[in-house]
Structure formats: C-alpha cells, structure tokens
Structure 1
C-alpha cells in the first residue's frame, strides 16, 4: 500500500497534543524545564500514561524508569519500538525528545486504527517508549535509560548515580512514583524521529534526514585541586587557586579544535562546580566535564591526548593537581542500510525530499541500534539551535515527520527490516 499524508484532522490532533505537552514545565521564553525525575517530568509521564490508557494500551515502567505503552497484535510476538524522551535540559527547548515521543504515540494510534479498519494485520507487536534521562542534565551520564535497556550500562550502578544535590536516581524515581518493576518488552526493531539539532536540512530545504551514522564522542571528567585560603589576606604568590587552573583548562578545551580542519571536531565544557564557592575564599577544588566529538575516532583521541598534556603543563606551572579520566565514551554507530533505504522509499512515496545525514548529538537510537535494527530520522531545526529556549521546528515539518514515522513503523511491523541485523530479535538485558 502506498504511503499517504495524514488528514487535516489527524495533523491537528497531533499538533494540539504537542503544544499541550509543551505547557508542562514551560519557561517564560518559550522553552521547557523538566529535568529527569522532577515534578515536571512526572507530569509528562502522567500525560503519556493517560494517552495510552485512554486507548486501552498496556503501560509498563521498568527498573530504571523507562515508560512503555504496548499494543498487542500477535500474542507472544516481539515488538517494534518507537519513541524518544520527554525529559529536557535546564531551560531547554520544547521540541528535543518530546517531539519524538508524541509523534510515536500518534503513529501508533494511526496504525491501530488502520488495523481495526481491516488493513493487513502486523506480524509483530508495537510499543512506544519514553526513555529515562536521555538528556543527562540532572544525572550523568546521558542516554541512561536506553543504555540500561540495551545492556550497555548497569542498572544498579545507574540507580546509585547522584545529582549535584546528592539525590540518587533511585530516590528521585521513587519520589515521583516511577521506579518500576515491570518486564521490559522484547523488541525486534526500533524507530525514532527527532529534530536535527543542526542546520543541514534547513539550509538545503530538505524535509527529512535519514541518519546513517553517529559521531564518536567522549567526555573527560576533570578535577582541579588547589588550596583553600582567604581572598583578602593571601598574597598572590602564595595562592593555589583551583578556579584559575580550571579557567586555563577551559580555554584549552575550546582552543583544541583549532588544531584540526574546520568543522572536524567540536568541544566544550558545559558543567562546572567549585568548592567552597564562597566570595571570600580561594577555590580549593573545581570539577568540570569536557565534551569532545568528531566523525573520526582518531581525531577525538588525538585531541584528548593533547588536552592531557596541556593539563599536565598547567598543573606544573600553577602548583595544582589536575586529574582527568575518560568518561561516557561512545563509539561510532552505523545504522542498517536496509533502514536507510526504507526511510528513503517512504519519503519518496509521501512526496517528501530526503537525504542521508550524520548525527553529531547522541540519541537513544544510538544505544538501541546495538541490539535491534534501528531507523533514525530527523526533521529540520530552525537555525540549528537546540538545548535552549529558542529551539524551534515548524508545524508542517513536525506533521510530515509523524507521517514518516507512521509509514516506516507500518513497514517494519510487516517485516521490512527482519533481516537487517545479524542478530535475531533481542530482549533487553536485565529484564
């Protein structure tokens, strides 16, 4: 059956739900703030639950807080899983992640209606997921829920992770009522749609990106140790200021990209804490996280080694101790060729332009692609902006993306990617 665009009524229903969810944790400048396992996160989870239960779908929550809505077509069969995440960065955008979850729920609803209307019954089941703590803004590392599901991270270790206030993941999920015990669904495929978080699709006026691979990424967990002393009474020559050392490190992290071709490497320091954080005390300790990403693993490792050498020089020159360890390392992931071809075919059938595109950002699909055939798709982001309140994607692009996800899922439910992975249908570790 040839794919078709949705009715205006279906499009309006999706947009109404999307803009309704955007009110949860809304910020004055048009963004959202609903970090993982907060009261605002709980409200989005309740909305997800309400959408599913109103349609008679089973809702489950697993031991790391992942939330699933299940539709059964074939008892005992595995599931094609659709979704993304509803948590946000502090003062984040309302599109990142949430768009993919709401699109998945509406795609599942349209598929259920088609089956009820007599179209060919799927050969497997369908599920929608809201992954826990994709953003990593409150609890590090990011992409936590999907990584636990895929067996890439240990559930017990992740439950013990603390935020800056010392609250553990386990306690935070318990507090909002979403530390579950339900079995994880067995999956045979995964599809996710997301805003691009870059300018390529917008610049080329292309509605759909079919993601072919992810960039290599890693972080450096850095600790700068000095000596606490009085800001007014300690001579400058006698100071061992950890914050001054950290400032030098931050500049080096920024400048390391200049040793490579433009657009080859991106780097940043996005989180910094200092002790004792008093206006009249020289800092004794600074903790910061550096983020390095490139298409080529060798580029990241070269940049990391350069930074380590430069940090050793800073430590020697300032009398400080600087410790750095590799953290949250993610290899390149290549998505199945059959999934790319499927996305391109569906886009053509829908009359939408598509191009292959890499992802510099991490996504839940990067984890799930390790255990099941995965299709990752993008829609355009205005100005390429994300992780801020100005993040924006047009309604028409979002509506087109829901149609893409619906048709890709429909094809996957009827066996389109059955042989895309060498592995058979896999069940998540620890279920």
Structure 2
C-alpha cells in the first residue's frame, strides 16, 4: 500500500463524526464509533482477514501466516473525546491496518515470519463516556475486571454492556494470544516539534492517579437563604478545583501536572444553592513520590475547605497507574528503524496514558510517537502533517516486521 492510499483513508475516515471546527466526536459505543468499527471490519474483509470481537468490544483483524502461532498485536483506538481531534488514536489504528497490508504483501513474496499479526481497535480508550479510560486493553491484560467494566454506566445510565449490544459489538470471540505489542500515536506534547525530530521512542510512562471528590453541602433557596447560613457545595468545590491546579507550584517545573476535567452538581437549578458536587482530579508526575506528596497536600487543604464551609468532602483514591518502563530491546529496534529510514528519533516519556502501557504489563511493548503541532491534543485544533504521519507509518511497518521475526522474544523470555 502506498503513502497516498494511507492518506486517502485517513482523511476520508476523519469525516465520520466530524465537527465544524475540524475535529471529531466519536465517543465509545456511539453510532459514530459503530461507523468507524464498520469501516475497520470492511477494510479487513476486503483483504480476507477474519475479524474477532471479544466480550468487552475489542476488535482484532487477523493476518495469519502460521496456524497455531501466537500474534504480534499492533493498533490503538478509534473512539475520541467529546469535540476531540481527528488524529488521537485513529491515526494509530489506520497506520496499523496499512502496515499490516504492506507486510502481507511482503510475506506473499517470501517466507512467512515467526508470528502472526493482529491489528486491534481497543474499546473505550478515552474513558469520556465510560470511566475509567484504557478499558478494553486493561480488561484484555487482566488489569480490570470484565464483569465490573460491563456494568459501568454513562451519565444517562446506559451500561457498557447495553451500549455495546446496541451497536452490535459485544462479541464472544476468543482473544488472540499476544507475544508482543506495537503502537504509534501522536505525541500530544511539544517535545518532538520543538526539537525538530520525526519520531519518539517511548521509554517510560508517568505515575498517574485520580481522586474522586464528593462535596456534600445543603440545598437551599438562592434568594431566601442568608449568605451566612449557606452550605454551598459548589463554592467549596470551586476552591478544591483551584487547590488541584495550584498544588503543582510546590514542585519543580514540568515534573507534575494536575487538572479537574469532570464536574457535576445537584440539583443544578439556577435558584437553588447546590447540595452536592462530584468532581474528578487527575494528578500525574514523573515519579510516584511526587504524586503522593501532592495528594497529601491536597487532602490536608481540602479538609480545611470542608471545615471553613461546614460541610463534608469525601475523597477516594482510584485509577492509580504505576510507572511503566518499556523494554530496552524495543527502544533499540525503534532507533534502528529510524536510522534505516534516515530520520531522527529520541527517547521520550509519555505523560498521557495509552493502551501500550496496559499491554506492557503482560507482553513487551514498543511505542512510537510522531509530532503534534503546538503540542495540543484532545481538542479540535489537534494537528499533525501528512508528511509526519507518513514517516510514522513507514516506521511502524518496519518495527512491526522486526517483532514478527521475534525481535522482542528475549524480553518476553521466549
């Protein structure tokens, strides 16, 4: 397959769920996600590749050369954030499909590799409709309980199981047995663009944890309740949001990030003082002790807010993700591929979570980054050039070829 064929597919697929400002909205198990999945299945069917759908909605297009052999998995995710970008996740899946097509043509001219190949679309990587994120790959890797995840509900009360059934993608197929995993993704940060480097070889993930915060005040009338008598959950929650933001100033620059990206309030009426606010704080750092120190500071300061406003604030830890180091052998493969292609590469941390981080817990994983213009992501302005994407497809193709030959067998103990 040519670069032109890849670019044609990429830009055509970006029309699915397209937003007016150039992004996409394809949250997990929505009609738009179904349309993307249908496209994935059709791409595989045109090439005679069987597709399996497992019980958490992951899709696997199988390219089999050696019956009974294990699989190198390569892919990413097709779902998006609300008003998200058209590159995040989808680029990795479309690049993987085209890499597989190129490799199938290569094998047709010679000896089959040691392993088979499976291109994967992981379910609900983004976690915007159903929390937590990185769900499909985490269930696959045994890091999350499948039955518990199937019962997770969206804000409208629709469960994962119901949503997958509604779009026809809750399957019963056997999962392919992996021996290694590869993924390519936009960086979602500024480093590669700033340094003028074509590729990043991901060597380490950041420590991540979320805090589930529930602020419980008292509902009352906005016009009839004296200010001194109010126990306003939203006012207290607003101070918590600022605390989460400001705690990063206690640490070295660029060593920690934090945010509150999800907030709901009850009863959400313009003439009622809110009685309850639920929010999720996200803290990430390049070392676990930094996150733990930030968490301790936040708990102390949040308790002071609760006391000041005479209300209750409950804080619960969840979705804690340890630092993951990617295998040295995979980094060396990535660097060799870049040298052979004549492009620059550097080792780089990933601050964002990815399916590769979950997969790296059970098999050796290799992850590549390509640049993100201005370092922005999870928004409609997200952008990577055609030339940058094309280099990435070439690199993924050659890296996957190395894995198919057993390039990470030593790391896997094969």
TM superposition score category, shorter chain reference = over 0.9
SS of 2:18's equivalent in the other structure is coil
**How far apart in 1 are the matches of 2:250 and 2:408?**
42
Matched, 1:87 2:107: no
Alignment correspondent of 1:257: 248
Alignment correspondent of 1:63: 55
**How far apart in 1 are the matches of 2:96 and 2:250?**
42
Q: C-alpha root-mean-square deviation of aligned residues, in Å? A: 0.7
Aligned-residue offset at 1:96 = 0.2
Instruction: Indicate which of 375, 385, 389 corresponds to 1:398.
Output: 389
Alignment correspondent of 1:340: 331
Matched, 1:47 2:50: no
Q: Which runs of 5+ in 2 are unaligned?
A: none
Instruction: Indicate which of 201, 206, 230 corresponds to 2:197.
Output: 206
Aligned-residue offset at 1:420 = 1.2
**How far apart in 2 are the matches of 1:69 and 1:227?**
53
Superimposed CA distance per residue, residues 12-66 of structure 1 (whole angstroms, 9 cap, x where no aligned partner): 0000000011000000000000000000000000000000011000101101000
**How far apart in 1 are the matches of 2:255 and 2:398?**
35
Aligned residues: 414
SS of 1:43's equivalent in the other structure is helix
SS of 2:334's equivalent in the other structure is helix
**How far apart in 1 are the matches of 2:158 and 2:230?**
34
Contact residue 208 and residue 378 of structure 1 kept, 8 A: yes
Alignment correspondent of 2:123: 132
**How far apart in 1 are the matches of 2:331 and 2:115?**
21
Aligned-residue offset at 1:147 = 0.2
SS of 1:18's equivalent in the other structure is helix
**TM-score between the two structures when normalised by the length of structure 2:** 0.99
SS of 1:419's equivalent in the other structure is helix
* 1:138-217 matches, cutoff 5 A: 138-217=129-208
SS of 1:211's equivalent in the other structure is strand
Alignment correspondent of 1:77: 69
Alignment correspondent of 1:412: 403
Aligned-residue offset at 1:416 = 1.1
**How far apart in 2 are the matches of 1:184 and 1:134?**
18
Instruction: Indicate which of 8, 18, 43 corresponds to 1:26.
Output: 18
Q: Which runs of 5+ in 1 are unaligned?
A: 1-8, 425-431
SS of 2:2's equivalent in the other structure is helix
* 1:237-256 matches, cutoff 5 A: 237-256=228-247
Alignment correspondent of 1:4: none
Aligned-residue offset at 1:415 = 1.2
Superimposed CA distance per residue, residues 49-100 of structure 1 (whole angstroms, 9 cap, x where no aligned partner): 0000110001011010001100111000000000000000000000000000
**How far apart in 2 are the matches of 1:124 and 1:198?**
33
**TM-score between the two structures when normalised by the length of structure 1:** 0.95
Aligned-residue offset at 1:172 = 0.6
Aligned-residue offset at 1:353 = 0.7
Alignment correspondent of 1:307: 298
Aligned-residue offset at 1:117 = 2.0
SS of 2:411's equivalent in the other structure is coil
Matched, 1:382 2:373: yes
Aligned-residue offset at 1:421 = 2.8
Alignment correspondent of 2:224: 233
Instruction: Indicate which of 261, 264, 279 corresponds to 1:270.
Output: 261
SS of 1:192's equivalent in the other structure is strand
Alignment correspondent of 1:97: 89
Alignment correspondent of 1:427: none
* 1:276-291 matches, cutoff 5 A: 276-291=267-282
**How far apart in 2 are the matches of 1:411 and 1:373?**
13
Contact residue 179 and residue 412 of structure 2 kept, 8 A: no
Contact residue 199 and residue 381 of structure 1 kept, 8 A: yes
Contact residue 336 and residue 421 of structure 1 kept, 8 A: no
**How far apart in 2 are the matches of 1:241 and 1:53?**
57
**How far apart in 2 are the matches of 1:306 and 1:16?**
50
SS of 2:60's equivalent in the other structure is strand
